[in-house]
C-alpha cells in the first residue's frame, strides 16, 4: 500500500542525527552489539582504532548527552543502547553533505554522481526502477 505524499514529507522532517567520524565508529558497534558496555565497544574497535577505554567511555557519555545513546544502569555496570537508527544517522550525513556541497538540492547531487562518478549498467537500471516507483508513488 502506497504512502501519501503528506506522510512521506512528514517522515523527511524527522530530526536528523549528525554524527562525527568517531561517533559513527562507535554507533556501528553499538548497533551490532547492543546493549553493550563501553569496554565492549573499545575492544571491538581495538583492531582499527588506538582508543583507550577512557576515550571511548567519554565519547559514549557525550553521545548519550546528545541523545544518540541511552544508558541502562545495572548496579555498577552501564549498558548503552542506540536512540537513533542507522537510517536516521545516514539521513543526517546526507543532509549535511547536501547542504554543504549542493545547497540542499538532491537533483544536482545525483547529476554530479552520474556525470563524474559513473554508473554501471546494473546501477543505471536500478536507478531507473527507483525513479519509476517514485513517479507512481510507491514505497
Give tens-digit pLDDT for 94-118. Answer: 999 999 999 999 999 988 988 898 8
Please indicate, yes or no, if residue 33 is contained in any of the structural domains: yes
What is the torsional sign of CA 60, 61, 66, 70? positive
Judgement on whether residues 78 and 112 belong to the same structural domain of the protein:
no
Same structural domain for residues 71 and 25?
Answer: yes
Q: Is residue 114 part of a domain?
A: yes
Mean pLDDT of the chain: 87
Q: Is the whole-model pTM more than 0.85?
A: no
Overall domain count for the chain: 2
Same domain, 75 and 113: no
Q: pLDDT at position 139, please?
A: 59
If asked whether residues 27 and 62 sit together in one domain, one would say: yes
Read off the C-alpha cell for 51.
Answer: 582508543
Residue 6 lies in a domain: no
Print the domain residue range for 119: 105-139
Statement to judge: residues 30 and 77 lie in one domain: yes
The answer to whether residue 91 sits within a structural domain is: no
Percent of the chain with pLDDT over 70: 87
Decide if 43 is inside a domain.
yes
DSSP state of 133: H
- Picking from 54-58, 69-73, 121-125, which range would have the lowest pLDDT averaged per residue? 121-125
Is residue 99 assigned to a domain? no
Dihedral sign for Cα atoms in the order 123, 100, 3, 15: positive
Measured in Å, how far apart are the chain's first and last C-alpha atoms?
Answer: 8
Same domain, 78 and 27: yes
Nearest-angstrom CA–CA distance, 65 and 28: 18
Residue 3 is assigned to a structural domain of this protein: no
Amino acid at each position: 500500500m502506497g504512502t501519501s505524499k503528506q506522510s512521506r514529507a512528514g517522515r523527511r522532517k524527522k530530526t536528523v542525527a549528525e554524527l562525527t567520524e568517531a561517533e559513527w565508529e562507535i554507533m556501528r558497534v553499538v548497533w551490532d552489539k547492543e546493549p553493550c558496555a563501553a569496554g565492549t565497544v573499545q575492544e571491538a574497535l581495538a583492531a582499527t582504532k588506538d582508543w583507550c577505554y577512557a576515550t571511548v567511555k567519554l565519547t559514549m557519555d557525550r553521545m548519550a548527552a546528545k541523545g544518540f545513546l541511552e544508558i541502562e544502569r545495572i548496579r555498577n555496570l552501564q549498558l548503552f543502547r542506540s536512540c537513533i537508527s542507522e537510517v536516521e544517522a545516514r539521513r543526517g550525513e546526507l543532509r549535511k553533505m547536501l547542504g554543504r556541497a549542493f545547497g540542499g538540492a538532491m537533483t544536482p547531487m545525483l547529476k554530479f554522481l552520474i556525470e563524474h562518478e559513473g554508473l554501471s549498467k546494473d546501477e543505471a537500471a536500478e536507478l531507473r526502477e527507483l525513479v519509476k516507483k517514485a513517479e507512481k508513488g510507491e514505497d
